[in-house]
Amino acid sequence: MFQGETAITIDDKGRLAIPTSYRDLVASAGGNRLVVTYNPFESGSLYLYPLAVWERVRDQVNALPRTRSVNRQLQLKLVGAATFVEPDANGRVGIPASHRNAVGIEKKAVLVGMGDKFELWSEQAHLAQIRQTLGDADLGDDLVDLQL
């Protein structure tokens, strides 16, 4: 559904414009609502889920036993930090200042389509991630059979 990366500018009010090529998909996939939350696996980025995808993820995460510390941390980072946003008439969504500040997103960011969700990266963290990925020669046994 969502793929590719787009350089994004965050305006003075903390809003980003959803690229026009994605606006219809966002409207149809989630009733024109997105959920912003932390990426629990990598610092420097946020997840933006269409509402329908978010509800499935939220329910799976909340079903995990809360007595395990790792589950509790995942629940806090994903569900506890989740914020609903809706694009305005110009296709802009506001990203909460607390979320932007926590991951270091300022004016320049990168929106990455990851299939069923977006990742919003600070420009610096995205560049560092790409450089690291390109420098990793060993992608692991799980990926050996992929025909990329």
Which pLDDT band, with edges at 50, 70 and 90, does 148 fall under?
low
Token reading at 77: 């980072």
**Residue 46 neighbours by CB distance under 10 Å:** 23
What are the pLDDT digits (tens) for 43-52?
A: 889 999 999 9
Query: Mean per-residue pLDDT for 59-71?
Result: 95
pLDDT of residue 14: 97
Percent of the chain with pLDDT over 70: 90
Position 33 pLDDT exceeds 70: yes
Position 95 pLDDT exceeds 80: yes
This prediction has a pTM of 0.87
pLDDT of residue 17: 95
For residue 96, give the DSSP letter: P
The rounded distance, in Å, linking the Cα atoms of 52 and 29 is 7
Q: First-to-last CA distance in the chain?
A: 19
Residues in the chain: 148
What are the pLDDT digits (tens) for 135-147?
A: 665 656 665 566 5
Query: Mean per-residue pLDDT for 23-48?
Result: 90
pLDDT of residue 130: 83
All structural domains of the chain: 2-135 (3.40.1550.20)
**Residue 53 neighbours by CB distance under 10 Å:** 19
Q: Which amino acid is at 120?
A: L
**Residue 43 neighbours by CB distance under 10 Å:** 13
Q: What residue has token string 């995990």?
A: 64
Which pLDDT band, with edges at 50, 70 and 90, does 16 fall under?
very high
At 24 the three-state DSSP class reads helix
* Average pLDDT score over the chain: 90
